Amino acid sequence: MSVSERCHQISVNLSPINSFELGFLGKKQLHRLVIDKPNEFAINTPKLSQDLLRTVSVAHLIAPYFPEIIETNFGIEYREFIDELYKFYGYKTPTFRTSDERVKILYKTKDKEDFSQISHANAHSGGLDSVFRIVNNLINKESVLAVHLQNLNCRGASNEASASSQQCQEWGVPFENIKLINSTESTNFDTMRTRDMFLALVVGISAYKYGVKDVLIEGGMSDDPSQCQFTEYTKAWEMFNKMIESTGLNLEVKGVDPGDIETIGEILKFEKELGIEILPLIQNCFSSPHQVGNNRRKWERETPVLAESSSYHWCGSCYKCRRMSLGRIYYADPKLGNISQNEINFFVRDTYQWMKNYPHNAVLVSDSFKDHLESLNR
C-alpha cells in the first residue's frame, strides 16, 4: 500500500452554504470533494444517510494520508467507518477533533412529490460492466435507474457522462447525473480504498425518492484482505450495508460480477434478444480523446474489418479496447462476420506483444482474458 505522505493532522472544513462541500488545504493546493449544484440532492432523505455520506467523503479526502488527527468544523457521525478503514491498512485509529468555528449542517426538505417506483439503481459509468447491469435488468423486465457520478474519475469525465446519458436515452432507462468537483488525491488503483462506498452511497441517496430496494455496483469482492483494497473486501461491505440500514435508506448495495470476456458474449445475446444496439454505445477506452485517432491507425491498416466495425471512440490498443475486441472476435459478433483469419492472427500476436511490452498492465489482465486469448491463439 502506498501513501502519498502521511500527515500528523488534517483539518477538513465543511462549507456553511453547501453541506456536501468538503475540503482541506494541502501543501500545494486545496483538495475538495463537492456535490455541485446540490439544491435537489438528498432532499427529504434520512438525515443519518446524509451524515454517513459526509463521513465517507472525509474518508475519501484523507485516505491518501491516514493522518493521526482529523479535525473538522462539524461533528462527524459514524466515526467507526473511518476507524475500520484505518485498521484495514494497519494504522492506529485516528483522534477526532472539532474546531471552535463549527458550522451548522443544512438538511433540506420540501413538500414530497410522487415519483414512479423503481426496483434497482445502477451506479452507471457508461462502461462494459455497468452497461451489463442495466441491460440485464431490461432482459429480466425489471425497472432500473441509472445514476452517473461525473468527475469521480476525472479523466474522460465529460465523455463518460455524455455516453451514459446517450445509452439510457436509447434504451428508455431513466437517468440522473450527479456532478462532482473533485480535487482529491484519491486516484488510480488506490482510489479503491474508499471510492466505491462513496459512489454507492451517492447513488442510494439520489435514488431514495424512487423507493429502490438495492444499488448495483461492480462485483468481484474478495474474502482475503491481503489481496484487495477496503472497498473490494467482502466484510467491509457487510459492515457498510449495516450502516446504510441504520440510516433508514431501506436499501442494500449489491455487487454484480458478470465475468470479464464472457460479459461481451452475454451482451451480444442481449443485442439479439432485445433488438437494440448495445456494444457500439459503450464508453470503452483508457486513451485520452485526442489520442484515439492516432492509436487507431495501426488497426485501420492491419485489421481493417475490426477497425471499421469498432466505434470511433475506441482506440483499439488499451486494455479495455483489447478486451472488447477479444470478446467480439471470440463470441462471433455479427458485425465481424467477414473478418479474415489474418486479422485475427495479427490481433492475437499484437496483444501478446503488448502484454510483454507493458508488464505494468498485468494487474488488469484477468485469467478470463488470458484464457480467451490462448483459445484464439490455438
0.85 surpassed by pTM = yes
Domain contains 105? no
Residue 37, by phi and psi: left (phi above 0), alpha (psi -120 to 50) or beta?
Answer: left
**CATH number of 176's domain:** 3.40.50.620
Domain contains 276? no
* Claim to verify: residue 303 and residue 247 sit in the same structural domain: no
* Claim to verify: residue 218 and residue 125 sit in the same structural domain: yes
Q: What is the pLDDT of residues 84-134, one digit of tens each?
A: 999 999 999 999 999 999 999 999 888 888 899 999 999 999 999 999 999
* Claim to verify: residue 136 and residue 251 sit in the same structural domain: yes
* Claim to verify: residue 311 and residue 252 sit in the same structural domain: no
* Claim to verify: residue 249 and residue 327 sit in the same structural domain: no
* Claim to verify: residue 228 and residue 160 sit in the same structural domain: yes
Dihedrals φ, ψ of 283, to 5°?
Answer: -85, 100
Domain contains 169? yes
Domain contains 88? yes
Task: Detail the DSSP E strand segments found in 62-117.
Answer: 69-72, 95-98
Q: What is the pLDDT along the chain (378 residues), one digit of tens a residue?
A: 456 667 899 999 999 999 999 999 988 899 999 999 877 899 999 999 999 999 999 999 999 999 999 999 999 999 999 999 999 999 999 999 999 999 999 998 888 888 999 999 999 999 999 999 999 999 999 999 999 999 987 665 788 899 999 999 999 999 999 999 999 988 777 889 999 999 999 999 999 999 999 999 999 899 999 999 999 999 999 999 999 999 999 999 999 987 899 999 999 999 999 999 999 999 888 887 778 888 899 999 999 999 999 999 999 999 999 999 999 999 999 999 999 999 999 999 999 999 999 998 888 899 999 999 999 998
* Claim to verify: residue 88 and residue 148 sit in the same structural domain: no
How many distinct structural domains can be found in the chain?
3
Nearest to 214 by CA among 244, 172, 177: 244
3-state helix, strand, coil in the chain (%, to 5): 50, 15, 35
Cβ atoms of residues 249 and 206 within 8 Å: no
- Cα separation, 107 vs 56, whole angstroms: 17
Task: Detail the DSSP E strand segments found in the chain.
Answer: 9-14, 21-25, 30-35, 69-72, 95-98, 120-123, 144-150, 175-182, 214-218, 252-256
Domain contains 273? no
Last residue of a domain, one of 64, 98, 132: 98
- For 42, the domain range is 9-98
* Claim to verify: residue 163 and residue 252 sit in the same structural domain: yes
Domain contains 163? yes
Domain contains 225? yes
Nearest to 215 by CA among 249, 181, 185, 186: 249
Domain contains 1? no
* Claim to verify: residue 138 and residue 217 sit in the same structural domain: yes
Cβ atoms of residues 208 and 73 within 8 Å: no
* Claim to verify: residue 190 and residue 290 sit in the same structural domain: no
Cβ atoms of residues 222 and 236 within 8 Å: no
* Claim to verify: residue 287 and residue 248 sit in the same structural domain: no
* Claim to verify: residue 213 and residue 298 sit in the same structural domain: no
Q: Packing angle between helix 128-139 and helix 319-330, nearest 10 degrees?
A: 40
